[in-house]
Structure 1
Amino acid sequence: MPAPQRTLPARCLIPLLLLGSLLGAACSSMDAIDRRVERVIGERSGALQAPPAAMRRGETTDLPSRSLYDKHPGTRNPTAGEIAFEEADPNRPIIDRLDGYYRSQVEPVGYDDPDAEPPVGPALKPLELDLEGAFRIAQRFGREYRTAEEDYIFAVIRLLIERHRWGPRFFNDTTAFVDFTSNDGDYSSALRVINELRATQRLPYGGEFEARLVTNLSHQLMEIVGDRNERATSLILSAGIPLLRNAGLIAQEDLIQAERDTVYAARQFERFRREYLVSIAQDYFNLVAALATIANQESSLLSRERLLAQRQAEVQAGRVAAFDERNVRQNVLRTRVALLNARESYQLALDRFKIRLGLPVETDIVIQPVNLELPEPEVSVRTASALALQFRLDFQNALDTLADARRAILNAKNQLLPNLDLGLQAAFNTDEDDNSRDNLLPNFDLQDTDYTMSVTFGLPLDREIERLTLRQTTIQLQQAIRNAEQFRDSIILSARASVREIDRARFALTLQEEAIVINLLRLEQMEIQADEIDALTRLDAENELLQSQIDRDLAQRDLRVAILNYLLTTGQMRVRPDGTFQPLQGMVVRELDPTAATP
């Protein structure tokens, strides 16, 4: 008759249950990780006196689990017979439709008007967007901005991973065995559970300390003879310490580099915010200039249409030849085509601007005139170069990476040393004669303790790879030095050019404003002498006025961009936490009347 089955005593399972609960409670949630990331970002950005990047939470996308593992995802590709095509009427009002496309982008008409066209996008009214509004939207929704923000966060996460490796780390492994033994047809079975709790800690100058608590629980489930419950516990303390190779600060290389990388990432992110502002402003100024060009072309078209009507009346009166009227008509048609092309270019640029801001393409936005005017700086090319070398964050990164390259050489030299490692271990075991099994805490027998010390010396017989690595790091340092020197020269070049560009843009703007005055006076004189001026001469004057107005608008755009580029190139650009431009001390930013703001 088989022996009765027995179970493992509950008191033996209590330590395991407590241990499992402890480990479960130690698991960090995503919110805790986000708080740690925010704390590091705040420290790094605070050292730069710059606003920190924002952690965007709750953005995890849940996908259907079944579709993730589908080996044959579906494809939508209907045949030609399944796609309906509707032919357009050749006599449709194309001009009206083209005008409607453009008017919906420039006229802030509310969609609550029953006569207005229903909205295509989610908004009920077009979004009236000014320059500062574009800055705020770009920082909140812009895909480029969020990517740069995430790159910064990735650097911080890599640092937290490395810091965790240098902190105390706990591990627990539980293994269960069931043994079956046969003796002349009689079977006995035993349950054996081994639990190993480990704690490790890296040492600051190389090596690692480890503490292991090994508990061995065994219980005879079905016995042939006797009833046995056994528990043995060992506490093992050990340390491995390098004395030559891998000894010293080289042991912290990964941590040192991760800490420095977060500083580089903070500088790079702040540099990106400034570049992003200038780039968004340049796109905005291009749209404003395009609107001004369209307005000038519309005004020019009206003037040419009036001239055409005048010439038609003169032809009917027999005062001028018919070919004169046809020349004006041909010019009106060309002007209308140029206007339509300018409108289409504007709508395409506007849609691209929406995408860059992170807005749906269907969103209707109306670009407002520029209502802020930046003052022009009084600075020399020498001063601009000195400011750029002093303030540019990317140049500071380039200089600090030279220290990384020099440190890599020291680490490579360390790898040429022989191995000399010290090993220490102490093992504390429980008293085998102690029968007090009801105790949850082990009773270690200090007289049954093993101490071990070892020294391992390894001759540097094969260091060919290490010598090649040393040579490689030496060359890389020389490359880094040359790159830093070239970067320095390019910064000086850009700073000098930015100062000259401001003066050039101001001079071009002054010339074009004078050209507009000259062409207006020229047209006024032609109006007075209308009977003596032929159509071609009048059209040439109209073209000159239109071109001078377009050039004036472009020169105004170039001047604004040149001022922002100067601030960016010299490292003086500052951006508020909301993404808008922050004036410097002594910089008076004039607010323009929106109704009278120039493009």
Structure 2
Amino acid sequence: MIKQLLGIRFKQVLKVVCCFCFEYTPDYPGCRIRQKTFGPFVTFLIQGAGRSCSALILIWAAVMIFTGCQTTGAYRVDVDEKALDIIAEKQEQVLGMKKKFSIDRPGDMLRRQLLEHASLPVTGPASLGTDQLSPVDHWPEPGFPEFLKTGNQGFPISDGLLEITLFQALKIGAQNNSDFQTKKEAVFQAALALYLEQDSFRNTLLGQIQSLASSDASKEPSQRGTLTSSKTEGSRQFQNGMTLTTALAIDLATLLTSGGSSSIGIAGDASLSIPLLRGSAKHIVTEPLQQAERNVVYAIMDFERFKKEFAVSVGSRYLTILKQLDAVKNTEEDYRSRIVSARRSSRLADAGRLKEIEVDQSVQNELVARQRWISAREEYKQQMDSFKILLGLPPDADISLDTDELKHLAAILAGKLSSEIAQENEEVAQERNNLPADAPVRLTEPDQGNAGPLELDARKATELALANRLDMQIALGRVFDAQRTVVVAADDLGAELTLLGSASLGERRTITTADLANARLRTDKGVFSALLTLDLPFERTAEAVTYRNSFIELEKAVRAVQDLEDNVKLFVRSRLRDLLEARETLHIQAKAVLVALKRVKSINLFMDAGRAETRDLLEAQDALLSAQLSLTSARVNYRIAELEIQRDMGVLKVTDTGMWQEYSLEKDNNAEK
């Protein structure tokens, strides 16, 4: 009864659909025949609908449910969750902690704020972000990518000018630099690749549904009918190399002629493949999965290493620009003093107290000072533009740096370096002055007595570097990967012995067999088979070449470790030398500035008394400028060397927001205790 009701209802629905599509229904009011060629086909389709409508409705309803319940956005979100779970797991394995990770960039990045606030020139919507792009035809996810507002940028822009501190620059770079984002995406893509490899060892289910309407007029009587078939396949690959595949097919065949016979077909089959020799070991079968897991680890390590390099690069460039800005300040002051000197020389010459040639010398030095001032200003602008690019900001944005960082740096170094004082100890100076001219000269080599906290023993620094450098751990991991490659290549040289088993039960149905009885799954009527295949290793030329190459790649991996180890030692020893040289230069130039200031002051007094020449003043001013520039350079170089040696030893920690946490030997020693 239910089947008849469903059949009647389905017929009515089909009549409406046919009227809409073909404007044809034999007994449906309001429809007209426009395309008579569809008439016979539609007629037999409607007549056969009542016999198979129940199965058709259930089958196609299931199709619509399963295909409609998972949107493109849901697929993306699901994959994102899987990848983030993998990253969190590997982070805990590599770093000992889980860190917040996301590749979604906020829409209110500082770069975009600067472009919009100052109305800077752009090429189009892509300059602002993907959420500003005009969607193309058939875009799968309307509204995605979306504008994500973080609300915690913390970089107020006043009157178009943005002043940033060193730590703000680190944060800005982590948010806006494109290379930083690319490294994060590399981690995410490695996790996606691992997820795909893991899927190879999960249960896989495939489904297919077909509905066929057929009319064969080549026979007498003509034969017309419908066939609805569904097939479900399941497969699973196991880590021992075995592959199991199963399938279940159900057919509903209905004749619309010859009495309207119908028959149900059902068939199931299963096949099993078991490798017994080559490719049968777990470590061979799971090698792609294991390599994908290690690639995620490598990507995380590489990202952590990049964060350290990027943070040091930002800090170094920031301090270098401040050094250049200080050079602008010093050359400006020098330029002003040269102008004053030229004016005074001119007045003294007018009074007959100075030769004209000395006036010319003053004017010439004034011009040279102006050239130095202009060059320093332009160099500062060039460095600032490059620094903005490094941070991922537009170079035409109006940004300034916090000049107090240099004062803060000087105070920090004064606290770190016990011997940085404004002038020499009076007792030492007195002893030096009391020595006779012909006294033996004893040179004092630099020592560690007044060294900073990061001027470690070379051996200690090298051991820290070899233990903490993430790129060294990656290189060592590549050696292990190369060793496994040798094992896999050796396995490919062996014989291949495979056991294949299959079982098939039941029968399929077609329109021509619709008059048979319904099929059943019976084990006593099944077809079973087993096949044992032995592939003898007579021809293994390609595999032998691969095997030999695997040893060469292993040697390369080992050499890469050795080369990196030597370079790490070189970098560490070089940074220690940079620290020592910058420290000594710092002390020397601090004294040189005092001497130069005293010299300029004394010569000015002598000039007023007519006891000094213009050339003496010009030389003193040159010496003062040089000492001032060298002092600032020494401070910056020492700080940069501190950051670089922490980076090269692998002990500098950097958060995902770009902020660094510096190494402390004292804390490290306490942790070991």
TM-score normalised by L of structure 1: 0.82
Instruction: Give the alignment of 1:78-477 within 5 angstroms.
Output: 124-183=159-218, 187-221=222-256, 223=257, 225-248=258-281, 249-369=283-403, 370=405, 371=408, 373=412, 375=416, 376=452, 377-429=454-506, 444-477=521-554
1:169-204 deviation per Cα after TM superposition (whole angstroms, max 9, x unaligned) = 222233444433125675332222332211211111
Q: Deviations over 1:484-536 (max 9, x none)?
A: 11211211222222222211111111111111111111111102201222222
| Alpha-carbon shift at residue 556 of structure 1 (Å) | 1.1
The C-alpha deviation readout for 1:298-322, integer Å capped at 9, x for no partner, is 1111111111111121122222122
Deviates more, 1:445-454 or 1:472-481: 445-454
1:65 aligns with 136
1:378–1:282 CA distance, 2 compared to 1 (3 A): closer
More displaced 10-residue stretch of structure 1: 457-466 or 33-42: 33-42
Q: Please tell me whether Structure 1 or Structure 2 has the larger radius of gyration of its CA atoms.
A: 2
Shift of 1:561: 0.8
Seen in structure 2, the aligned counterparts of structure 1 residues 208 and 451 have a Cα distance that, compared at 3 Å, is: same
**Aligned-residue identity in percent:** 25
User: What CA distance in whole angstroms lies between the structure 1 residues aligned with 2:253 and 2:374?
Assistant: 89
**For the Cα contact (< 8 Å) 1:431–1:448, is it kept in 2?**
no
Is this contact kept in 2: 1:431–1:445, CA < 8 A? no
- The answer on whether the counterparts of 2:207 and 2:231 sit within 8 Å (CA) in structure 1 is yes
How far has the Cα of 1:574 moved from its partner? 0.8
Q: Which runs of 5+ in 1 are unaligned?
A: 69-120, 589-599
Kept after mapping to 2: 8 A contact 1:193/1:217: yes
- Tell me: higher relative CO, structure 1 or 2? Use CA pairs within 8 A at least 6 residues apart: 1
Looking at structure 1, the residues matched to 246 and 593 of structure 2 have their Cα atoms a distance apart, in angstroms, of: 85
In structure 2, how many angstroms separate the alpha carbons of the residues matched to 1:190 and 1:126? 79
Counterpart Cα distance in 1 of 2:560 and 2:227: 64
Task: Tell me the equivalent position of 2:620.
Answer: 541
| Inter-partner Cα distance in structure 1 for 2:594 and 2:60 | 92
SS at match of 1:128: strand
Q: CA deviation at 1:245?
A: 1.1
Contact 2:211 2:226 in 1 (8 A): yes
Contact 2:209 2:231 in 1 (8 A): yes
Which residue identity lines up with residue 583 of structure 1 in the other structure?
Answer: E
Superposition deviation, residue 583 in structure 1: 3.0
Q: Which whole-Å deviations, capped at 9, do the CAs of 1:461-491 have from their partners, x for residues lacking one?
A: 2111101110010111112112211211211
Cα distance in 1, alignment partners of residues 529 and 69 from structure 2:
36
Give the direction of change, closer, same or farther, for the CA distance of 1:529–1:551 in structure 2 (3 Å limit): same
Matched AA of 1:326: D
The code of the aligned residue for 2:136 comes to S
The equivalent residue for 2:65 is 21
**Aligned 1:578-589 pairs, distance under 5 A:** 578-585=657-664
Note if contact 1:428-1:445 (Cα within 8 Å) is conserved in structure 2. yes
How far did 1:30 drift? 1.4
Residue 451 of structure 1: how far off its partner (Å): 2.4
Q: 1:129·1:366 contact (CA, 8 Å) conserved in 2?
A: yes
* Alpha-carbon distance in structure 1 between the residues aligned to 2:79 and 2:159: 40
Equivalents in 2 of 1:332, 1:60: separation in Å?
Answer: 54
Cα-Cα RMSD? 2.7
Say whether residues 1:6 and 2:52 are aligned partners.
no
CA separation in 1, counterparts of 2:493 and 2:70?
Answer: 41
Q: Distance in 2 between matches of 1:451 and 1:546?
A: 96
Instruction: Point out where structure 2 has 5 or more consecutive residues left out of the alignment.
Output: 1-38, 107-128, 140-155, 417-451, 668-673
Equivalenced residue count is 527
Q: TM-score, normalised by structure 2?
A: 0.74
- Counterpart of 1:466, as a letter, is E
Instruction: State the one-letter code of the partner of 2:271.
Output: S
- Say which is worse superposed, 565-574 or 39-48, in terms of deviation: 39-48
Mapped contact 1:278–1:565 kept (Cα < 8 A): yes
